[in-house]
Structure 1
Amino acid sequence: MNGRLVHTGQVVLDLVMRVPWLPVSGSDVMASTMDFLPGGGFNVMAAAARAGADVLYAGMHGTGNFADLARSAMAAEGIVLAHGPSGEGDTGISVALVEDNGERTFITGTGAEGRLPRGMLDGIVPTGHDVVYLTGYSLLHESNAEALMDWLPRVAGATVLCDPGPLAGDIPEPVLSAVLSHVDILSCNAREAEILGAASGGVETVIVRDGPAGCRVVTGEDVVTVPGFAVDAVDTNGAGDAHCGVLAAELIAGTTLLEAARRANAAAAIAVTRRGPATSPARAELDAFLRTTR
């Protein structure tokens, strides 16, 4: 691969708790398992790195125990850091409640990763071989959004991939419009696509992820359904991240968009059979899965 994934999102620590159901207001529920793992943007980057891509983390990371854990996890995956630790406190935490049916609910507390200063991205110059990854979470942090809107006009030539995330409807419209004008590929689930509606109309390619059904690749008036893979899901946490990370790695490798989407579907299918947020497979495992699964 000649290019790299330039990830502009946020790495956090995930406190993953498996629960029989979500508690109602004022009640309590006992978790059957509990894990403390790197998450957020780490999931996408780990997926891309395991699929063979070079990865640069352009986001912020703090000082403290959580930040140390995040940096250690990124180093283990071969992810390169664009910046040193920030003095804006520790890295944030997301509590992920995973129900027995595999569905997940998040509660996120922001740390240093949500305080990317304007101009911090100036030293990063993507090439035409790179994929620049954006997440809607960045656009909910004022400083991160300003830094991205200032930098994005200078990344022409790179492929810009954006996942708006479940809080897409909370992104201020002027910010969303400004960012989407620089996006080449928008990857979202069916609910997020409905929320965005006409706002996504100016993006050249939209990929709508639809769980086990696979995904739809929409380019102008052309809509192609790329079938998914039937598996027994135990944890959907990180499935969309696995999809985006492998999609990016395949595009960097020169794979066609539809084949990249098929491989991304397979990676997401493997990921949901495992517990945890960063469960995307290595490239060799993905190849083996595709050889034996129809």
Structure 2
Amino acid sequence: MSGRLIHTGQVVLDLVMRVPGLPVSGGDLMASSTALLPGGGFNVMAAAARAGADVLYAGLHGGGFGELARAAMAVEGITLAHAPSAEGDTGIVVALLEDDGERTFITGTDAGGRMPPGLLDAVTPANRDVVYLTGYSLLDGSNAKVFLEWLPRTAGATVLFDPGPLVGEIPTDRLTAVLAYVDIVSCSTREAKILETADVEVLIVREGPTGCRVVHGGHSVTVPGFPVAAVDTNGAGDAHCGVLAAELLAGTGLLEAVRRANGAAAIAVTRQGPATSPTRAELDAFLG
């Protein structure tokens, strides 16, 4: 692979709780299991690294829980662009996992959601790099300003944008300004409806086990998925984005890159945990 994945989002710790259903307001539920695991941006980077990509984490990471996140990134061979932030802890996401594999999140980004001006000045993407941007980074106005000042420096790199489930809360003018620098949008069906008027070069709509719809050059192509028995959908979209980025870095054509990303997401949902993307060898074996 000739470039790097530069991830600009937030690494968090996922407090994963398996529950029989979602609690009613003012109620309580007993979780059958709990686990504290690295998640958020870590899922994407781990997926890309396991698929053979060089990965640079350009986001923030705090103290406390940040030690767990940094240890996990070290295991995956992920390079850190910055020292730990003194402004707060690494964020926590409460992930409620139901018996059918569906998940519901409550997100607190903490230090990762507060990027100071100039943080990205030392990060200069090269022509063969893939820059990953998440909608979570655009929810805060000062954060978005940091990215809008930096994104012009990504010219020549491929900017991959995953808007995330809170995309509807990003002010339209802010989202439009950022999309001007985006090459590929990868999102869920629900998120695609919110973005339906957006003008992007490539739109990848992740539709679960049925696969993905790829819209490019005025044409829409469905890349079939791989139906499996899902046990945990937490991190499936992250696995898809990470492997997609790795394949683009490897020079794989767009539709084949999406097919391999579909396979990685299928494997991921058969495993418990948020960062369950396969290695490149496991994916090759799965695809036959």
Same-fold call, TM cutoff 0.5? yes
Alignment-derived partner of residue 217 in structure 2: 220
4+ aligned runs moved over 6 Å, structure 1: none
What pairs up with 1:119-198 in 2 under 5 angstroms? 119-198=118-197
Alignment-derived partner of residue 25 in structure 2: 25
User: What per-residue deviation string (whole Å, max 9, x for no partner) do you get for residues 231-261 of structure 1?
Assistant: 0001110000000000000000000000000
Preserved contact between residue 16 and residue 37 of structure 1 (Cα < 8 Å): yes
Match of 1:244 among 226, 241, 244: 241
Preserved contact between residue 10 and residue 109 of structure 2 (Cα < 8 Å): no
Amino acid paired to 1:22: L
Distance apart, 1:143 and its partner CA: 2.9
Distance apart, 1:221 and its partner CA: 1.6
Give the whole-Å Cα distance in 2 for the aligned partners of 1:56 and 1:187: 20
Give the whole-Å Cα distance in 1 for the aligned partners of 2:233 and 2:23: 19
Amino acid paired to 1:147: V
Give the whole-Å Cα distance in 1 for the aligned partners of 2:109 and 2:182: 25
Between 126-135 and 140-149, report the one with greater CA deviation: 140-149
Give the whole-Å Cα distance in 1 for the aligned partners of 2:25 and 2:237: 28
Matched, 1:255 2:258: no
Helix, strand or coil at the partner of 1:110: strand
Amino acid paired to 1:30: M
Matched, 1:208 2:205: yes
Matched, 1:13 2:13: yes
Amino acid paired to 1:152: L
- How many residues of Structure 1 are paired with residues of Structure 2 in the alignment? 288
Preserved contact between residue 133 and residue 160 of structure 2 (Cα < 8 Å): yes
Distance apart, 1:111 and its partner CA: 1.1
User: What per-residue deviation string (whole Å, max 9, x for no partner) do you get for residues 256-276 of structure 1?
Assistant: 000000000000000000111
What pairs up with 1:17-56 in 2 under 5 angstroms? 17-56=17-56
Give the whole-Å Cα distance in 1 for the aligned partners of 2:180 and 2:264: 29
Calculate the aligned-residue CA RMSD, in Å.
Answer: 0.7
Give the whole-Å Cα distance in 1 for the aligned partners of 2:252 and 2:107: 35
Give the whole-Å Cα distance in 2 for the aligned partners of 1:278 and 1:144: 26
Preserved contact between residue 237 and residue 272 of structure 1 (Cα < 8 Å): yes
Amino acid paired to 1:41: G
Give the whole-Å Cα distance in 2 for the aligned partners of 1:63 and 1:20: 33
Distance apart, 1:220 and its partner CA: 3.1
Give the whole-Å Cα distance in 2 for the aligned partners of 1:174 and 1:10: 23
Q: Percent of pairs identical after alignment? A: 74
Give the whole-Å Cα distance in 2 for the aligned partners of 1:107 and 1:213: 27
Distance apart, 1:110 and its partner CA: 2.4
Helix, strand or coil at the partner of 1:121: helix
Helix, strand or coil at the partner of 1:152: helix
User: What per-residue deviation string (whole Å, max 9, x for no partner) do you get for residues 105-132 of structure 1?
Assistant: 0001221111111111111111111000
Query: Which consecutive unaligned segments of at least 5 residues does structure 2 have?
Result: none
Between 147-156 and 110-119, report the one with greater CA deviation: 110-119
Distance apart, 1:218 and its partner CA: 0.2
Helix, strand or coil at the partner of 1:251: helix
Give the whole-Å Cα distance in 2 for the aligned partners of 1:145 and 1:67: 23
Alignment-derived partner of residue 106 in structure 2: 107
Amino acid paired to 1:284: A
Distance apart, 1:278 and its partner CA: 0.4
TM-score, with length taken from structure 2: 0.99
Distance apart, 1:89 and its partner CA: 1.2
